Amino acid sequence: MKAEIITIGDEILIGQVVDTNSAWISQQLNQAGIEIYQVTSVADDAVHIKDALQNAENKVGLVIITGGLGPTKDDITRKTLCEYFGTKLVFHEATLDSIKKWFEKRGMPLNKLNKNQALLPENCTVLENNEGSAPGMWFERNNTIFVSVPGVPFEMKYLVGEQVLPRLKKMGMLKNIVHKTVLTQGIPESFLAEKLAGFEEGLPEDIKLAYLPSPMAVRLRLSAYGHANENLGAIIDEQVKKLQGILGEAIYGYDDEQLPEVVGNQLAGLGKKLAVAESCTGGYISHLVTSIPGSSGYYKGGITAYANETKINLLNVKQDTLDRAGAVSKEVATEMVLGVKDALGADYAIATTGIAGPDGGTEEKPVGTVWIAVAGQEKLVATKFVFMKNRERNILRTSHTALQMLRKLIIEENK
């Protein structure tokens, strides 16, 4: 089956909002075996919306419409869908009840605009919205299904993920597909491709491998396609095992896991504490660690030592070491990681020092040169990297590389 996504809203066409909904819906439908034929963005204009609906109905079996379901008068999707299907708006009692309850609970008066959100086209099946006041709507005509959902991302995600996809599945309109994403850090995409050449050649025909690179990680998505009664989970797990054999500890997690969360779980599980000393990453590692709820349980804190005096006074780096080896050196990274571990009384520590760019490089130490050190209870590892010229990407890449080095050290020390 093919699908079209129609996004409705002036805010998209004046460029005030980037339409991230379409990409999310495309991903979900693609992974469920539905091909996206077209994405169309139109203004809050009835004639234009009906025109887009007609074009889509002529071409595809599923039309997902987002936006234009709010209570104000510029939100015209419901009225326009009525005109398109030649039906009328009627009060939907269950929806009115849940809107009333929502307002009662908050002790707020209900006005006419709120009530009108329960006015829905007579021919639609109502899709309950647990995340907001505007319900989703499901229509069928000839061989095409139309679904209308709000444009607010988390409401849209709830309705598409929890209401629309399960219904399509029940109707037998989704292919049997299973995906598993393997998350790797530390091996550049081209080297990964080389390492995995044999693996890729040996993949059964109905399993596909996609590389999804970013400055933080290279994600490997395995997708298995099969018949309704095949156990694709088992088939894909077999391939994941092979990847584990080839890539080892370069794999830090699966699917939606994030590296700072993985490292946080390691520390929390062991009851150990972390401290971070940052020069070139300037606080970004500390930010990543503390972006995880509950990180106060294992994070002692960090020191961003931008100036040399700060390295000396707070991290106990020696003036002599700075003079002899320079701030961007194995020696300074090592003194920083031991200094922060000691100063904060932590069990594990990370230190970074480098030239983030765009300026400040030399012949010997070009922009992108970075030393990362990680220390545990017995071991200490310091490694040099030479990244590129882009400051933002260098900060991202250094931070994730450092977290991956720590992850490996923790595994090593707790075997």
By CB under 8 A, tell whether 307 contacts a copy of itself.
Answer: yes
211-214 contacts at long range (C-beta below 8 A, 24 or more positions apart): 212/181, 213/189
**Least distance from a copy of itself to the Cβ atom of residue 75, Å:** 19
**Which range of residues in 81-89, 201-209, 242-250, 276-284 is near a copy of itself by CB under 8 A?**
276-284
By CB under 8 A, tell whether 408 contacts a copy of itself.
Answer: no
Assign 239 to helix, strand or coil: helix
- Residues of this chain, 240-269, that bind a copy of itself according to CB under 8 A: none
Cβ neighbours around 161 below 10 Å, total: 13
Q: Sign of torsion, CA 382 383 386 392?
A: negative
Task: Give the integer Cα–Cα distance in Å for 291 and 244.
Answer: 28
Mode of pairing for the β-strands spanning 2-8 and 35-42 = parallel
Task: Give the integer Cα–Cα distance in Å for 359 and 391.
Answer: 9
**Which range of residues in 36-44, 178-186, 249-257, 376-384 is near a copy of itself by CB under 8 A?**
36-44
Q: Which of 134, 222, 262, 305 binds a copy of itself (CB under 8 A)?
A: 305
By CB under 8 A, tell whether 394 contacts a copy of itself.
Answer: no
Task: Give the integer Cα–Cα distance in Å for 335 and 118.
Answer: 65
Looking from the CA of 381 toward its CB, the CA atoms found within 13 Å total 16
By CB under 8 A, tell whether 13 contacts a copy of itself.
Answer: yes
Task: Give the integer Cα–Cα distance in Å for 245 and 39.
Answer: 40
Q: Which of 121, 151, 264, 302 binds a copy of itself (CB under 8 A)?
A: 302
Q: Which of 54, 130, 231, 313 binds a copy of itself (CB under 8 A)?
A: 313
* Residue number, 40 or 329, with CB nearest to a copy of itself: 40
Let me know: does 369 contact 325? Beta carbons within 8 Å.
no
**Least distance from a copy of itself to the Cβ atom of residue 20, Å:** 5
Cβ neighbours around 411 below 10 Å, total: 11
Task: Give the integer Cα–Cα distance in Å for 162 and 66.
Answer: 16
**Least distance from a copy of itself to the Cβ atom of residue 7, Å:** 8
By CB under 8 A, tell whether 300 contacts a copy of itself.
Answer: yes
Q: Which of 80, 185, 295, 353 binds a copy of itself (CB under 8 A)?
A: 295
- Residues of this chain, 319-378, that bind a copy of itself according to CB under 8 A: 343-345, 356-360
State the binding string over 201-230 for a copy of itself (x if CB under 8 A, else -): -----------x------------------
One-letter amino acid of 118: A
**Least distance from a copy of itself to the Cβ atom of residue 349, Å:** 13
By CB under 8 A, tell whether 271 contacts a copy of itself.
Answer: no
What tokens were used for 308?
Answer: 């040399």
**Which range of residues in 123-131, 230-238, 277-285, 328-336 is near a copy of itself by CB under 8 A?**
277-285
By CB under 8 A, tell whether 286 contacts a copy of itself.
Answer: yes
**Which range of residues in 80-88, 227-235, 292-300, 369-377 is near a copy of itself by CB under 8 A?**
292-300
By CB under 8 A, tell whether 380 contacts a copy of itself.
Answer: no
* Residue number, 231 or 362, with CB nearest to a copy of itself: 362
350: Cβ contacts below 8 Å, ≥ 6 apart: 274, 275, 276, 277, 285, 337, 372, 373, 374, 402, 403, 405, 406
Question: How far, in Å, are 63, 146, 337, 368 from residue 405 at the CA level?
Answer: 46, 49, 13, 18
By CB under 8 A, tell whether 39 contacts a copy of itself.
Answer: yes
**Which range of residues in 176-184, 229-237, 298-306, 401-409 is near a copy of itself by CB under 8 A?**
298-306
**Least distance from a copy of itself to the Cβ atom of residue 275, Å:** 8
**Which range of residues in 34-42, 106-114, 151-159, 174-182 is near a copy of itself by CB under 8 A?**
34-42
Count of chain residues binding a copy of itself (CB under 8 A) = 70
Task: Give the integer Cα–Cα distance in Å for 203 and 184.
Answer: 19
Cβ neighbours around 395 below 10 Å, total: 24
Task: Give the integer Cα–Cα distance in Å for 28 and 157.
Answer: 10
* Residue number, 179 or 242, with CB nearest to a copy of itself: 179
Task: Give the integer Cα–Cα distance in Å for 146 and 140.
Answer: 6
* Residue number, 15 or 271, with CB nearest to a copy of itself: 15
Task: Give the integer Cα–Cα distance in Å for 411 and 249.
Answer: 9
What tokens were used for 88?
Answer: 């009328």
What tokens were used for 36?
Answer: 């996206």
Binding site for a copy of itself (CB under 8 A): 12-20, 22-28, 30, 35-43, 48, 52, 55, 212, 273, 276, 278, 282-287, 289-291, 293-296, 299-307, 309-310, 313-314, 343-345, 356-360, 391-392, 395
